[in-house]
Every structure is written in C-alpha cells, then in structure tokens.
A and B are shown apart, each in its own frame.
Chain A
Amino acid sequence: MPHKGAVNSIRLFSGFTRGSLKLILQGNRAYWTWLAFLSVLIASGALAYARQVRVGLGVTAMRDQVSWGFYIGNFTFLVGVAAAAVVLVIPAYIYNWKPIREIVIYGELLALSAITMCLMFVLVDIGRPDRFWHLIPPFGHLNFPRSVLAWDVMVLNLYFIVNFLVATHILYRAFHGKPYIKRLVVPLVLLSIPMAVGIHTVTAFLYNGLAARPYWNSSILAPQFLASAFCSGPAILLVVVQLLRRFTRFDIQDAAIWKIAELMAYAMFLNLFLHGAEAFKEFYSNTQHLLFTRYWYFGVNGHHTLVPYAWSAVALNLISFGLFISPRTRRNFITLNIGCLATYAGVYIEKGMGLIIPGLTPDALGEIYEYYPTVSELRVAAGIFAVGFLLFTLMLKVAVPISLGEFMGRKTEREAAAAGVGRMEPEPVATPSEA
C-alpha cells in the first residue's frame, strides 16, 4: 500500500533528521570553540552587510572605474574550488582507484559549500538584492543565451543540484544500511564531471568574452582557470582529510594523499606554464595591452598597491610546485601541508585580486584608480567564508559517522548486528563499462 510506504519513509526521514540534529549538537570543546568562532564572523559579516544594504555599495572601495572587486574575486576563486571536486571524481570512478573513492563524498560536500559561498558572493555584490528574482524565470527574465552571466547562473545552480542529489542520496541510503541506487548515482556522477569543467569554463568566459578588457580577453583564460582550480580545491581537501583522520575513526591511506599531491604538482606546472605563456606574449609583443599586466607585476606611474601580492602569488605557486613534485617532500606531512597552504594562498591571490583588479585597472579610458578592499568588504567576505565553513563542518559531522557506519537508522542497526556487520564499507561503484 502506497499510504503505508509514505508513512514509513516519513518516519525514517524524521529519524534521520533527529539523529543528524543530535550529532550536530554533540561535540568536544574544540568543536564548540570552532562553531563560536564562525558565529562571531557570521554576525560581524551580517552587520557589515546590513549597513551596506542601507547605505549602498559605496561602503566598498569599488567605484565606476573599478566596478568589480573583492567579492567577485572570491566568487571566481570559489567556483574553482567547487569545480575541483572533479579532479578526485575522475580517478576514483573512471580508473576505479579505491583509495581516493573514500574522499569523493567529502569532495562533493566541499563543492556544495563552495557553491553556496559563490552564490552568496554574487548576492552581496549586486546593487539591488531585492530584485534577485528578476534573474529567475518564469518570474523574471533571464537573458539566455546571449548573456554569459545567464549561463553561469544556470550551470552553477544545476551543479549544486547534481552534487546535492548525489551526496544526500549516498548518505541517506548508507544511513538505512542499503547500497545506493547505481542507476541513479553513476549517470549523475558522470554528468558532474563535465559540469565541473563547465562551471569553471563558463565563469572564465564571463570575463574572457569582454573585448573591452584586454587583460581578460585572452583565450588562455579558461584553461588557466581550470589548471589553478585543480590546485586549490584538492589543497583544501587534503588538509580536511588529515584533520578527519586525526579526530575521527575515518581512515585514509597515505598513498591516496600522496597521489592527490602528485596530481596537484602536474596541475600547478600547467598553471605556471600558462602564466608564463601569457607573460611572454604580453611582454614580447609589448602592445598597449601590456599595461594591465604591468600594473599587476610592476605598477604603473607610481601606482603599485598590488605589486607585493603579485610576487607573493608567484613565489607561493613556485614553492608549492617544488614541494609537490619531489616525492620526498610530498610524502613528508610537514612539507606537504606547507605546500597545501602555499597553493591555497597563491591561487587565492592570483585568482581573486590578481584577476579582477588588473582587468579593470587602468579603466576603459586609461584612468588608474587604485582599488583596495575596505574593512566593510573584508567583514562581509569573512562572514560568507564562515557560513561556508559552518555548512561544511555540519555536513561532515553527519556524513563522517554515516560512512563509518556509526550512525544508522535504528532498524538498520539491528539488522546489521544480526548479520554481524560491524561497520559499513563504502559500496563499490560500477565503472562506466559495467554500468
């Protein structure tokens, strides 16, 4: 009877919800300190944002000359983080390499948090957040397919939905002690691979398509976006899995961590190579378009606010490449973690400030307005990062025990005990050929 089935699933779902809530509310002092820290940042960001809504975007350092700044820089960086889950999904599913597969679910959760932050950064950047619905058909009017921003809105939301479906389905089924439905998961995972490449390509095209800004109007932009994303996304994840290994029963082989670090070295090489290719073209041909690159690396006419950032990014990227390419340093956890932090910081600088600000400085009529984010902008941005980290922390709090078989539906637990199963092994996924 469908009626009974519905009641049953409602009961199961409420069990899942109540259990998850209980898990979230349990934790040691470090956990609560972390949550309190994030809450303070969120409150500070919310207050700064409330003022921004009241006064206007004039509380930021953005002006007509540099009309996009820190918010859009963070947005771009985080699209890369979200897309990078793919670098883990590809070897795990296509080559069926088991050690990495255990991390994939966390990669997907990271992607969900990153996309949430992306959408929040766009929301705080627009002048009329009350009109956000103008973008959403059928209520609004989406200028599709002409506007690349319309494309970006669509792919980001679709990517969010796909990752949300896969992650919640796998976890929910594991909660009931059932294997996930392959017919549903495998096509979605396979879809998420081109979609991850897609969201970052479309985001690159957002800038790339603007002939008015020569710094962005270079066909190397999209490949370079992807290369740097494949560095920054895994950098975060490697730190996260080490923390999980330390504080929970979650286990991951060193081999998997080292493999990912090796892949990051190749990605970083590609990133550096593409930067070099771009720098060669600009400096050797020495046209007027060199101005923007010169502003970033050397400053123009005494305006050099960003120069220290530019060279820090170069140095950090070189250091992380060196640490990851050599097997000795990537297998040493101290140098590995230094490499992760260097990668994260390097890519964060080059893709945030380093992409947006020189793109708009000097402006279309040659004027140099030196942009530097205000405290208000920094507070709003920190608040959004805190929301993302909070979301990620809470999702991990539920997801880790489920995949470890520590958190299950009551009935499932009894069945598992009867069957003598102590802990849930992740179910192997079919390779594409099997599916």
Chain B
Amino acid sequence: MVTRRLFTTTAAGAAAGMILTACGPKRLYEAPRDKLKARIAEMERKYKEEYGKDVKVSDAGPIPGVHFAYALDISRCIGCRRCVYACVAENNQSRDPQIQWIRVLSMEKEKGVDFSHANAYYQPAEVPEEGHFYIPVGCQQCEDSPCTKVCPTGATWAEKDGIVVIDYDWCIGCRYCMAACPYGARHFNWTEPTIPEGELNPNTHYLGNRPRPKGVVEKCTFCIQRARQGRYPACVEVCPVGARKFGNVLDPNSEIRYIIEHKRVLVLKEELNTVPRFFYFYAT
C-alpha cells in the first residue's frame, strides 16, 4: 500500500536523522580535533567583532605527567584582595554585574576557621586588622567533585591535570552544581556579562577565561590558559606577600611538593570527602 510505504520511508528517515544527530559531537570535549578547531575559529571571529581586538582562544590539552595543586599560606595572607582583582582582570569576569571567583573571608582569631562567623565584606582602612586572619576561597578543584557529579548534562568535568572545567556551550544553567558545591566557588551569569572595551584579556582558553554568555555557570580554572603554558596563575603572581604557591604535584622537586611533604597542610571541609587539590598551611 502506498500509505504504508510512505509511512515506512518517513519513519526510517526520521530514525536515520535521529541517529545522525545523536552521533554528532555534542559537548566540545567529545568533539574531534577539526570540529573543535572550527568552533574555536568561530569564537575568535566573534570576540574580535565584539571587543575590537585579536583574541586568541587556546585549546591546549593537559600536559602528560602534570597534575596541578595549589597551597595557600594562611599565616602570610593579609587580606588585601589583590588576588581577587587580578583574577577578575585575567579571567575576563563580568564587571557589571560583578563576578569574583575568589572570596576572601575575614575570620576572628578567637573563633578560628569558622564559616558561620566569617565576613567577606570587611572594609577597614588598613589590613590586616587586629585579631583577624584571612582565608581566600575559590574553586578547590576537588578530586571527587560534587559539582561534576550532579551536572545533568555532563557540561562540567575534571581534566586529566586535575582542573575542573565547564563547557560554556553545553551548560543549560540549571545551577544544580552551585547547590552541590561546598565552597561557594561557582558563579552564575545572572544577566549579560560586561567587560569594558580594552579591558578584555585576549589570551584565553576555550575551557577557561574566554568571554561567557548570559545564563551559564563559571568558576576558577587555576588560570588554565596560563597553567598549561607553564606559567603561574594570576593570583600567585600578584600576591604581595607570597602566600600563594602553585605547581605540578607529580614533580618531586616542585615547591608545591615540598610544602605538602614538609608543612602541616589542611583542606577545607575535610569531612565532606571532596579531596581538594587546594591546600591551606601555616608556614610560620
């Protein structure tokens, strides 16, 4: 019968279409190299149009034998927030509305490390304040990360070098990861992010600091665009007291390895078993 044949053909066509769509690359992380290159060229074109300068979007992958870790010396940190603003500039965070990947918490020495008495909005004439110490908190790059576990579309994952990244092209903005993160490290673009003309950092990475669209989540990536070029993250470079340490934990001669082996290090909210790659220590 004609109708039956027509039906069969249509159904087969629809099924084939579905399979073809399903086989195509979905997340950037599954995309074959040439597809990714094409997508990156498209990004660079778009950013140049928007910001009026050449923007480099790197697709550098993890370096074999490299596993990043971070350590922060609580006894040295003076709470100046220079890391916060260096991070904003380096990683193209929105200026309006303000997004800041690092939150510096002022804590009372009397209370110790206690989040319920922490204050992120301290504004004295001079830091450090009497009787206070400071704990800067950003993404802890957890090995067993609750945020990647809950993401319904698999838009966020840990790379082989330990950096937890987000595919801004695939995130649907459900914010389940933000509810799951014990460190308040994830930030959402509640409205269109804005970066003043000329302030855009053109050295970007497709999983890191490239300009983000409205409606997706973003977070610290250990400055993936720098780290994979063998450079320090911006916060490490800017810290005036040298409280921030960063390096390859697999390299036995690295500074980070020395700290972990010789200092008493701790991680935040250890009882949650998130296994952070971000350590805190008291050097003195």
With a CB–CB cut-off of 8 A, which chain B residues contact A362? 115-116
Give per-residue flags for A206-250: 1 if the beta carbon is below 8 A from chain B beta carbons, else 0.
Answer: 110111110000000000000000000000000000000000000
Interface assignment of B81: CB less than 8 Å from any CB of chain A: no
Interface assignment of B105: CB less than 8 Å from any CB of chain A: yes
> Contact: A365 with B103, CB < 8 Å?
yes
With a CB–CB cut-off of 8 A, which chain A residues contact B146? 210-212
Number of interface residues of B (CB under 8 A): 53
Closest CB of chain B to A193's CB: distance in Å? 26
Closest CB of chain A to B18's CB: distance in Å? 6
A146 to B150, CA, bound (A): 7
Interface assignment of A367: CB less than 8 Å from any CB of chain B: yes
Selecting from A124-132, A398-406, A412-420, A424-432, the interface stretch reads A124-132
Interface assignment of A95: CB less than 8 Å from any CB of chain B: no
A311 to B152, CA, bound (A): 35
Interface assignment of B243: CB less than 8 Å from any CB of chain A: no
The chain B residue with its CB closest to the CB of A368 is B116
Selecting from B44-52, B180-188, B226-234, B255-263, the interface stretch reads B180-188
> Contact: A134 with B26, CB < 8 Å?
yes
With a CB–CB cut-off of 8 A, which chain A residues contact B22? 137-139
Of the residues B19, B21, B187, B215, contact of A128 by C-beta under 8 Å? B215
The chain A residue with its CB closest to the CB of B157 is A143
Mark out the residues of chain B between 75 and 126 whose CB falls within 8 Å of any chain A CB in the assembled complex: 97, 103, 105, 114-118, 120
> Contact: B153 with A141, CB < 8 Å?
yes
The chain A residue with its CB closest to the CB of B26 is A141
Give per-residue flags for A71-113: 1 if the beta carbon is below 8 A from chain B beta carbons, else 0.
Answer: 0000000000000000000000000000000000000000000
Interface assignment of A3: CB less than 8 Å from any CB of chain B: yes
A139 to B18, CA, bound (A): 7
> Contact: B153 with A58, CB < 8 Å?
no
Of the residues A56, A68, A153, contact of B175 by C-beta under 8 Å? A68
A142 to B150, CA, bound (A): 11
Interface assignment of B200: CB less than 8 Å from any CB of chain A: no
> Contact: B19 with A138, CB < 8 Å?
yes
Interface assignment of B55: CB less than 8 Å from any CB of chain A: no
With a CB–CB cut-off of 8 A, which chain A residues contact B190? 56-58, 62-63
Closest CB of chain A to B76's CB: distance in Å? 21
A124 to B166, CA, bound (A): 22
Interface assignment of B54: CB less than 8 Å from any CB of chain A: no
With a CB–CB cut-off of 8 A, which chain B residues contact A365? 103, 105, 115, 118, 120, 137, 183-184
Closest CB of chain A to B25's CB: distance in Å? 10
Interface assignment of B214: CB less than 8 Å from any CB of chain A: yes
Interface assignment of A364: CB less than 8 Å from any CB of chain B: yes
Number of interface residues of A (CB under 8 A): 50
> Contact: B151 with A143, CB < 8 Å?
yes
The chain B residue with its CB closest to the CB of A211 is B272
Closest CB of chain A to B97's CB: distance in Å? 7
Given A141-B154, A211-B146: A125 and B174 interface contact (C-beta under 8 Å): yes
Closest CB of chain B to A374's CB: distance in Å? 12
> Contact: B182 with A366, CB < 8 Å?
no
With a CB–CB cut-off of 8 A, which chain B residues contact A288? 114, 116
> Contact: A147 with B184, CB < 8 Å?
no
Interface assignment of A48: CB less than 8 Å from any CB of chain B: no
A149 to B186, CA, bound (A): 18
> Contact: B216 with A139, CB < 8 Å?
no
Closest CB of chain B to A148's CB: distance in Å? 7
With a CB–CB cut-off of 8 A, which chain A residues contact B170? 131, 134, 141
The chain B residue with its CB closest to the CB of A60 is B190
> Contact: B171 with A128, CB < 8 Å?
yes
Give per-residue flags for B193-221: 1 if the beta carbon is below 8 A from chain A beta carbons, else 0.
Answer: 00000000000000000000111110000
Of the residues B26, B116, B189, B273, contact of A127 by C-beta under 8 Å? B189
Give per-residue flags for A112-128: 1 if the beta carbon is below 8 A from chain B beta carbons, else 0.
Answer: 00000000001001111
Interface assignment of A338: CB less than 8 Å from any CB of chain B: no
Given A135-B152, A147-B150, A365-B115: A212 and B180 interface contact (C-beta under 8 Å): yes
> What are some 21 contacts across the A-B interface (CB < 8 A)?
A62-B190, A64-B186, A126-B172, A127-B171, A128-B173, A128-B213, A131-B170, A135-B152, A138-B19, A141-B154, A143-B152, A149-B176, A207-B179, A210-B150, A211-B182, A212-B180, A362-B115, A362-B116, A365-B120, A365-B183, A366-B117
> Which residues of A approach B to under 8 Å, CB–CB?
3, 55-58, 62-65, 67-68, 122, 125-128, 131-132, 134-135, 137-143, 146-150, 153, 206-207, 209-213, 288, 291, 359-360, 362-367
For the A-B complex with A359-B179, A365-B137 known, give 15 more contacts whose Cβ atoms are closer than 8 Å: A68-B179, A127-B214, A131-B173, A132-B172, A135-B172, A138-B21, A141-B153, A142-B153, A147-B150, A150-B152, A212-B180, A212-B181, A362-B116, A364-B115, A365-B184
Nearest first, the 4 A-B pairs at minimum CB distance are A127-B173, A127-B215, A138-B22, A366-B115
